[in-house]
């Protein structure tokens, strides 16, 4: 039995953050597929036993369940001593970018992508426009930041980078963004992340087929 179990599914960039961290740390882990689109995260028994927040990813380790990708990243960075902040100032700066990620960078982009290509019904145009406007605002801030330094808090990758990398590696047909053209800072940073030993893409790392649009 593997040391870590990760409740995840391949289409979830939030789950990918945790899976990528496990891969980059060389952890002994195995995935447990969550049938999220069939509503598993909304089932009362799942909420009772796995995560009351109804969300993936959930990391199981030594009989404990950890949820929220930022918690899992923080826990693993302390355990493995990798991608961790080096001091108190860096700790707050990493937290700052993880919070921005959860509030604005990942959240609007992920929800936009869902309505753009994954949801059974096409999203309402006004909702899509709202989400894209918010995602664009957050992506512009991060793109500027990443033209000024190689990684979010400086010269080396930390869990802040792994957090913000959750959704950027999904194929363009799922979200419509061509980062090389629109966000050169983010595009160059993606190449630096891809070069890290152990980097693997979301559909190779987690169970579940690559999404193919049914509409």
Binding site for a second copy (CB under 8 A): 52-54, 66-71, 74-75, 92, 95-96, 98-100, 102-103, 107, 124, 126-127, 130, 137, 141, 144-145
State the nearest-atom distance from the C-beta of 194 to a second copy, in Å: 26
> Which CB sits closer to a second copy, 21 or 98?
98
Q: List the one residue out of 24, 146, 160, 141 whose CA is nearest residue 80.
A: 24
First and final C-alpha spacing in the chain? 39
Smallest gap from residue 71 Cβ to a second copy (A):
5
Q: From CA 63, how far away is CA 127, in angstroms rounded? A: 40
* Minimum distance, C-beta of residue 37 to a second copy, in the bound complex (Å): 16
- Least distance in angstroms from the C-beta of 92 to a second copy: 5
Instruction: Pick the closer one to a second copy by CB: 137 or 198.
Output: 137
Residue 181, both tokens: 């053209």
Q: Smaller CB distance to a second copy: residue 144 or 156?
A: 144
Residue 19 or 110 with smaller CB distance to a second copy: 110
Quick one: 44 or 197, whose CB is closer to a second copy?
44
Strands (E) across 24-148 are located at: 29-33, 58-61, 64-67
Minimum distance, C-beta of residue 67 to a second copy, in the bound complex (Å): 6
Distances (CA, A) of 109 to 63, 68, 203: 33, 17, 18
What single DSSP character describes residue 42? G
d(C-alpha 173, C-alpha 176), whole Å: 5
């Amino acid at each position: 039995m593997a040391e870590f179990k990760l409740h995840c599914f391949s289409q979830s960039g939030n789950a990918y953050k945790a899976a990528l961290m496990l891969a980059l740390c060389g952890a002994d882990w195995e995935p447990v597929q969550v049938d999220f689109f069939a509503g598993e995260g909304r089932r009362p028994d799942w909420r009772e036993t796995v995560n009351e927040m109804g969300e993936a990813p959930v990391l199981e380790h030594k009989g404990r369940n950890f949820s929220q990708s930022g918690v899992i990243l923080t826990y693993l960075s302390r355990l493995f001593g990798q991608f961790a902040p080096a001091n108190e100032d860096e700790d707050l700066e990493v937290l700052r970018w993880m919070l921005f990620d959860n509030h604005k960078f990942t959240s609007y982009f992920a929800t936009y992508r869902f309505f753009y290509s994954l949801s059974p019904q096409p999203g309402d145009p006004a909702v899509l426009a709202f989400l894209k406007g918010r995602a664009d605002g957050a992506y512009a801030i991060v793109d500027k930041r990443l033209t000024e330094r190689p990684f979010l808090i400086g010269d080396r990758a930390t869990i802040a980078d792994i957090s913000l990398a959750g959704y950027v590696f999904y194929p363009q047909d799922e979200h419509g963004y061509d980062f090389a053209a629109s966000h050169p800072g983010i595009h160059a940073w993606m190449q630096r992340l891809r070069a890290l030993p152990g980097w693997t893409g979301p559909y190779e790392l987690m169970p579940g087929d690559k999404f193919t649009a049914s509409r």
